[in-house]
Amino acid sequence: MSLNPPQRAAVEYCDGPLLVLAGAGSGKTRVITEKIAHLVKRRNVSATKIAAITFTNKAAREMRERVAKLVSGPTAEGLTVCTFHALGLKFLQLEHARAGLRRGFSVLDADDSQGIVKDLAPKGIKNDALFALQSLVSRAKNEGLTPEQAAMRAGGAREREAAAIYDAYQKRLAAFNAVDFDDLIRLPLAILEGDAEARGAWQERIRYLLLDEYQDTNDAQYRLMKALAGERGAFTAVGDDDQSIYAWRGANPENLSELSRDYPNLRVVKLEQNYRCARRILRAANALIANNDHLFEKKLWSEQAEGAPIRVLECRDDEHEAERVAGEIAHLAEKHKATWSDFAILYRGNHQARPLEKALRLARIPYHLTGGTAFLERAEVKDLLAYLRLINNPDDDAAFLRIVNVPRRDIGATSLEKLGEASAARHVSMLRAAQNDTVLGYLSARPASALAGFVDLVRELSRKAQTMAAADLVDELIQRTGYAAHIATQVKEPGLLARRLENLKELADWFRAMQKNGATGDLAAQLALLTHGDRDDPGNAVRLMTLHSAKGLEFRFVFIVGAEDGSLPHDGGIEEGRLDEERRLMYVGITRAKEQLALTFARRKRRFGEILSNEPSRFLAELPQADLHWSGRDPEQDEAQRKDVASASLAKLAALFDK
């Protein structure tokens, strides 16, 4: 398929800053990949000097694969296609000295960071208050603030407390030679804004910048983009203000207007032809989003078929809603000979999935729940993998910090901070510092003894790892550390305990399966295979996911459930005046549908033990009513539909008995 005129204009304009307003389904990824090819082939820009930034590793991987088909061979080598955070990591690996880091620094994950904040927070702090403190620290970092700046801006007691914790938290990270996820943006930004030499070098290193999902940038990411692009403004920002749905995690759609102010010569190209949705679905999306204010007006259009009416299904309660959706899916799959993966059920919050899972199981419809805790993210699995990482690499401080006190060894935060300072002074990892008798002499007797025992354990397991299969090493780890007993002290509910212990067995079985399939016996290689394995592949199954998770995806048939005031729009959005973002969320859901869309709501739902009455979402009234079919308002059409669904259900039952 050839580029349409606006797409071609976006690809070929390279002489100044460019904003591409790319509506849903308008081919924005194609524009980015074609532009990279144009820069390399027609503008003679070296691929090593081009960086394309997106927001997820999956999107970066897919973009890289598409570019490889357009720019093959040596000319594509050195091209950077990654997330903001991956670019920040690459920056810090090259500029670690400017950031006050030693080579081989660690990157802490969210669990590691939360553990440090919890340790610094007042004793006995409740989880909600802890989360609020951590969010305030993260917000300060995402705004590019230092601890001192955060303290100066603090507007109340909680923000002052968060600023103090931020200061102590950064000192702890410095002692550990570690950064957290937010630092991957904050530290490069601080260097680029404060060091003219570094800024000039990086502006020369990256001669052209492409940014995907620009509307999702936060303040620090926008400043980072400006620092890299410089006054030349050699960039293309691709985004859609109608799909800005991440304000709750710092995204600032106002960056669109900032862009036009900071770059007066900004050119704007609008991609308004939608290649995904039936025209009726697109009309509904346009009518809905027209109720929001816009800096740049655009209206999507499509040459696709008109499509079936959008169905609005009124249900008695959430169980009836789930049963009805399951029945509709069975009917549509049979009628259109569709695969299960052609269907998606979208909702505002993860709690809405429970009745849907039950109804789909009863209907024997396979489903995949996006957003559940992935196997490799379970605490016990991460703990054992951290042990294996440290056994394989004694310089992995992040792994050391995760498991040095798991199971509990009476090694307190003060002792770890002293150990971190000693490792920094000696320019060695924390495990290597703990092997030094002089360093242990700085500590109290109990933590020094515990650390010595931990060092001996890692040494012994490292020796065994030379000859022992990874699966057997997992078994040995569990036995030597008493990890199963550790879980038993934490979990009192028998069913949950059994599941967590089963996860330990599954990890060992996973390594055995890799070995059986011919994977190398090298522990580092097996860890890499395991860590990068994709257990979240949905296969041929109905997708259940939140509206936030659905962004960027498309399906033939989409059901948006819980279209009630209080759910969509959410109570918080109504009370806090954030209806624009809630409307954008609904818009994102509608534009996931290619052929057919159904919106469902329940008149009653149980919340916090009470049965509450619901009103249909106010957004339903904003849709073009001529394109909707409301159940109950056309008895003749409803009866025909009911017979179709009943017939499909009977056919499914008959097929089961024939087996």
> What are the catalytic residues?
28-29, 212-213, 243, 592
Q: DSSP letters of 588-607?
A: HHHTTEEEEEEEEEESEEEE
Q: 489: closest CA among 334, 380, 350, 404?
A: 380
Kindly provide the residue ranges of all beta strands, DSSP E only, lying in 240-283, ordered along the sequence. 267-271, 273-274
Which secondary structure element, helix H or strand E, spans residue 546, and what is its range?
strand 542-546
Q: DSSP letters of 150-208?
A: HHHH--SHHHHHHHHHHHHHHHHHHHTTEE-TTHHHHHHHHHHHH-HHHHHHHHHH-SE
- By CB neighbour count within 10 A (0-12 exposed, 13-18 middle, 19+ buried), where does 572 fall? exposed
The rounded distance, in Å, linking the Cα atoms of 564 and 574 is: 12
The rounded distance, in Å, linking the Cα atoms of 628 and 560 is: 14
Query: Is 98:77 a contact under the CB 8 Å cutoff?
Result: no
**CB count in 10 Å sphere of residue 116:** 22
Instruction: Name the H helices within 1-74.
Output: 5-12, 28-41, 57-70
The CA angle 9-12-18, to the nearest 5 degrees, is 70
As given in the structure block, the two tokens for residue 171 are 């000192």
The Cβ-side half-sphere exposure at 307, using a 13 Å CA radius, reads 27
Distances (CA, A) of 578 to 192, 248, 570, 574, 601: 34, 10, 9, 6, 21
